[in-house]
A and B are shown apart, each in its own frame.
Chain A
Amino acid sequence: MKMIVDYELCEGHGECVVAAPEIFEMDDAGEKVVLLQENPDESLREQAVEAVKICPIAALQLEG
């Protein structure tokens, strides 16, 4: 699967970091999230789906 972040929309709420800490972390400025793995392993699907659902700004999309 492929995780896509819309950085224009991202406001750095960090909900995705809480939902999927293996896939996201906050940047040093605390302004945007950092995508740690563009193609997370299938075992992380549940966290990836939750991250997409919980992002308040709908800045995430999951493909495949």
Chain B
Amino acid sequence: MSTVDKCPIGEIGENFDPLNPHTALEYYTRARAEQPVFYNPRLNVWVVTKYDDINEIERLVGTQKYTAKGALNLVKPPCPEALDVVMNAGIKVDNTIVDEDPPEHTVKRKVLREYLGEDVVNRFEPQIRDLVNRKLDGLVKRGDCDLVGDYVFEVPAWVIFQLMAVPSEDMERIREYAKGNGKFGFGIPTDEEQVEDAKGIAQYWEYAKAHVDKLVDNPGDDIMSHYIRRLKEEDASLFDIQDAYTVMLQLLFAGHETTTNTSGNAFRHLLENRDQWEMLCEDPSRIPHAIDEVLRYATPVPHWRRTTTEDVVIQGVKIPAGETVMIALHSANHDEDVFDDPSKLDISRKNARHHLAFGKGRHRCIGEALARLELKVILEELVRRLPHVQLVEGQPWIYGENISHRGVEHCLVTWDPSQNPIPADRP
């Protein structure tokens, strides 16, 4: 709760809407030049827009000046009915890894990372490639589709479910439960939407509990069994079954919308800058680097939040203890001091990998290797089988409106199936 005097709120602070993807870049650019740290009364957050300042906050969080607590605060507090649903289901979403500090955070992150390192996730590559190709099998002869809704949709969730050893017959049902999470957590839903989404999350929670409880007695070689076994080995005092349920919730939420959004953004921006798309078709080995440029350009997690643990001063602005600081990762990725001509998509950009889309420091995205693998396979197979797709002209670009997820919901394309490069793909 903030009752202190905010520094004079200028036009930027007054009008900046962190939920609006269409005006965001314009505000970030002005802020970086005129008011790099500003208070936003709409969300009661202090927005930090410069790359170096954000880098510094992430370097310190958990040890000095900033805590990760508050990262998952609902943007709109739950209405009474939604709160009832959450309380009755016993859902616990906070103080587990994402919004935790050392020492607890360090051990839990370490054991979870063991299952998400590059060599472990790369073992899933054949299955991912297989699934992606089966999706394409159903599309290639059609001549038109929505690359988000028809192609990538379900793929990232399916991959997470594989890691968790969720039976395939359960996947569609549980994915439905998690549908509203982005808006519920990071947007401003109506009361009715909040209740619907809370019910969905409660159902997922029930499922996670049953799934995890089974594993405690009968562990397998899935990610949750690994987490439980290794955490008990490292520090049994830190193990709490409620945390394990939360981890299962967080894994699905973290690994699902983010990757889908990045895929959609990649399709949109690479196809809009066709010369770049064609460079990838010519040389698919450039795909990993192109993924970094897309992450920089169209940052899928545009903002993230921290809380100050003491009074801090950034760019001459004093932020009291206990305040929410919102790091604008999307802004950092367009910082002219770091990236030349930042509003240009350039898959050859030398320092594209300096982007902060995965964060930095001890809370660096733990799913990075998995995300990169999925995105690589999704783009490789599209380039291989449908390099000639064209964007439907004039289509509206629709984004979910919330502060921490930003990606196109649809990407409509057409092509001539008789020109499919692989003969078996032609009608």
Contact = CB atoms under 8 A, between A and B. Distances in A.
Query: Which range contains the number of A residues in contact with the other chain?
Result: under 10
B364 A56 contact: yes
A1 B58 CA distance: 24
B358 A56 contact: yes
B362 interface: yes
B368 interface: yes
B196 to A, nearest CB: 37
B232 interface: no
Contacts of B106: 8
Interface in A3-47: 8-9, 11
B360 A56 contact: yes
Contacts of A57: 360-362, 364
A6 to B, nearest CB: 9
Nearest to B118: A13
B181 interface: no
Contacts, number: 21
B274 interface: no
A49 to B, nearest CB: 11
B214 interface: no
A58 B360 contact: yes
Contact of A58 (B59, B113, B353, B358): B59
Contacts of B364: 56-57
A7 to B, nearest CB: 13
B142 interface: no
A8 B105 CA distance: 13
Nearest to B360: A58
A57 B379 CA distance: 27
B426 interface: no
B118 to A, nearest CB: 9
Contacts of B55: 58
A58 B354 contact: no
A17 to B, nearest CB: 14
Interface residues of B, number: 14
B361 A53 contact: no
B243 to A, nearest CB: 21
A16 to B, nearest CB: 13
Contacts of B353: 54
Interface centre among A56, A57, A58 (most CB of B within 10 A): A58
Contacts of A56: 358, 360, 364, 368
A9 B362 contact: yes
A53 B337 CA distance: 14
Interface string A53-64: 110111000000
A54 B361 CA distance: 11
B410 to A, nearest CB: 32
Nearest to B363: A57
Contacts of B361: 9, 57-58
B113 A54 contact: no
A11 B360 contact: no
Contact of B354 (A9, A11, A53): A53
A58 B58 contact: yes
A53 B338 CA distance: 11
B58 A11 contact: no
Contacts of A11: 113
A53 B353 CA distance: 9
B120 to A, nearest CB: 13
Nearest to B351: A53
A58 B51 CA distance: 13
A58 B58 CA distance: 8
Nearest to B55: A58
B220 to A, nearest CB: 25
Interface in B356-381: 358, 360-362, 364, 368
A8 B364 CA distance: 15
16 contacts: A8-B106, A9-B361, A9-B362, A11-B113, A53-B351, A53-B354, A54-B354, A56-B358, A56-B360, A56-B364, A56-B368, A57-B360, A57-B361, A58-B55, A58-B58, A58-B360
Interface of B: 55, 58-59, 106, 113, 351, 353-354, 358, 360-362, 364, 368
Interface of A: 8-9, 11, 53-54, 56-58
Please name the 4 residue pairs, one residue from A and one from B, whose CB atoms are nearest each other, closest first: A58-B59, A58-B361, A56-B364, A58-B360
